[in-house]
Amino acid sequence: MRIRAIARDATKVRADALIVALFQGVKRPDGATGAVDRALDGAISKLIADGEIKGKKGELTLIHVFGNLPTSRVAVLGLGPRRSFNAEVVRTSMAEAARAMRRIGAKRIATVLHGAGAGGLEPGFAAQAIAEGTLLGLYAYRKQVKNADAPSEVLELTIVETQRSKLREVRDGLALGQVMAESTFLARDMSNTPANHMTPSDMADAARKVAEEAGLDVTVLERDEMERMGMGAILGVAKGSAEPPKFIILKYQGDGDAPDRVVGLVGKGVTFDTGGISLKPAAGMASMKTDMSGGASVIAAMRAIGLLKPKINVTGLVPTSENMPSSTAQKPGDIVTALNGKTIEVDNTDAEGRLLLADALSYGRQIGLSPMIDIATLTGAISVSLGNVCTGAFTNHQPTLNRLMRAAAVTGEKLWQLPIHDEYREQNRSDVADVKNTGGRNAGSITAALFLAEFSESTPWVHLDIAGTARMDSTKGYQVKGSSGVPVRTLVQFVLDSANRRSRRRVA
């Protein structure tokens, strides 16, 4: 889709549909909406007076203009009460509006800059939110669909800003929003792709393409290299599959003044999870193609970071494997040795993601990554606790999580912190190894996080359990049924904020 911003009177814009905005409770529209109202002989005001337009959040009223404006239609988008307005309202409302425009066949959409006036948003941030909401809301995965019933495509989005002095800021916001959204598309595409088309080798190929596009360094460790290094945890998971495991390393070097200061992003990449010998029930197993969403989010975030070029160093680690049952698969009761030398009793082969992360976090410590943020569809227990609204967050370093939560507040991707008190460690104690890979039913997300803490050790670390938020069962707002792409935008925002923070320190 082409995205652009122009300085023009909204009543002079040519498009298939022009979207204007209205806060709940407003009786007489002003600004760009007021100008459009006047051009339509007060049609919007009359509909407000009749109670047909209320301005409720997400409300969309379509008005045919019959030649009174260059645009074919005007859509009045409700933004809800002014007191609860924020960028997330813009994202969700624009996503719903964009899908409505697609349904009526509008290919060229124009919109005013929602929230940049009375809403109090900076023009660039408002433009970013519009781009993100529109693009994410229009996303569709149809790579394997060949029929002729595909929805019509929206080809162009134009933001109309009346003040030319704000145009550069608006265009910068649009560009950032487009990078954020398109990188999220990559994560969604990878996680929506069937497992026979997204093997560990395919993930490695995707990482290589991202590296070429975004100017990153890429290394892919093969099985023999992992064996030499002592990555016994990931190799144990991979034993049951004919597909070879891969360990993907993506490096962005944006700060030559501090080459040893590197943020680490670590993503679980189980491209299909049967549970192994501890076989999952058949119902719902098809969705286990999404079990590599953490790895996909890291690859996608690294793409955005490479394109945006912040002054910071970032390394992405993605251990990837299938988890399959076979005559060669690891068995409950087996003991494997992770890269850091700790032995692990495999109490349940369906707790495999944490085994991949054990080696990846150990490797991250070896090469000096700090802080490290791992992202994984790790436990069903997190869905029981938080549903699909919040990602579960755990940490051994509160300042890092605080910064990550501030980034999430900017992007609208919700995080909720859970505890990792020492008392829970007892559940992971093994009689025959240093640690076992499950802590039982109670507090399952917490004990899983504490297992990972054995391998992050003293490095500042945050664990994000996205098992509930990685996949959506229905379409709402800018989240489309299927893979969500969470938390790509939050990871990128965290890195951008960290780069700005370090730059301010240097100036000071």
- The answer to whether 251 is a known catalytic residue is no
338-350 burial, b if ≥16 CB within 10 A, otherwise e? bbbebbbbbbbbb
> pLDDT value at position 341?
98
> pLDDT value at position 506?
45
Residues 239 and 223: their CA atoms lie apart, in Å, by 10
Surface-to-core class of residue 167, CB atoms within 10 Å of its CB (0-12 exposed, 13-18 middle, 19+ buried): middle
Closest CA to 39 of 79, 78, 67, 5: 67
pLDDT of 507 > 60? The answer is: no
For the full predicted model, state whether its pTM sits above 0.85: yes
Q: Which of 38, 54, 261, 280 is catalytic?
A: 280
All structural domains of the chain, each given as residue ranges with its CATH number in brackets, are: 2-162 (3.40.220.10), 181-507 (3.40.630.10)
Total residue length of the chain: 508
pLDDT of 502 > 70? The answer is: no
- Backbone angles phi and psi of 127, in degrees to 5: -65, -40
Which H helix or E strand runs over 451? helix 444-456
pLDDT of 358 > 90? The answer is: yes
> pLDDT value at position 152?
77
Q: What's the mean pLDDT in 197-216?
A: 98
> pLDDT value at position 338?
98
- The answer to whether 481 is a known catalytic residue is no
Residues 290 and 270: their CA atoms lie apart, in Å, by 8
Identify the residue whose tokens are 């590599």: 292
> pLDDT value at position 68?
92
CA 72 and chain centroid, separation: 35
Sign of the C-alpha dihedral computed for residues 210, 92, 394 and 354 taken in this order = negative
> pLDDT value at position 145?
85
Q: Which tens digit of pLDDT belongs to each residue from 126-167?
A: 999 999 999 999 999 988 888 756 667 999 999 999 899 999
Q: Which of 354, 414, 471, 489 is catalytic?
A: 354
Identify the residue whose tokens are 């227990």: 381
Closest CA to 36 of 11, 71, 68, 5: 11
Please state, rounded to an integer, the average pLDDT across all residues of the chain.
Answer: 96
pLDDT of 317 > 50? The answer is: yes
Q: Which tens digit of pLDDT belongs to each residue from 241-273?
A: 999 999 999 999 999 999 999 999 999 999 999
Q: Which tens digit of pLDDT belongs to each residue from 3-57?
A: 999 999 999 999 999 999 999 999 999 999 999 999 999 999 999 999 999 999 9
Beta strands per DSSP E along 359-481 = 369-376, 391-395, 415-417, 435-436, 461-465, 471-472
Sorting pLDDT into bands at 50, 70 and 90, what band is 508? very low
pLDDT of 361 > 90? The answer is: yes
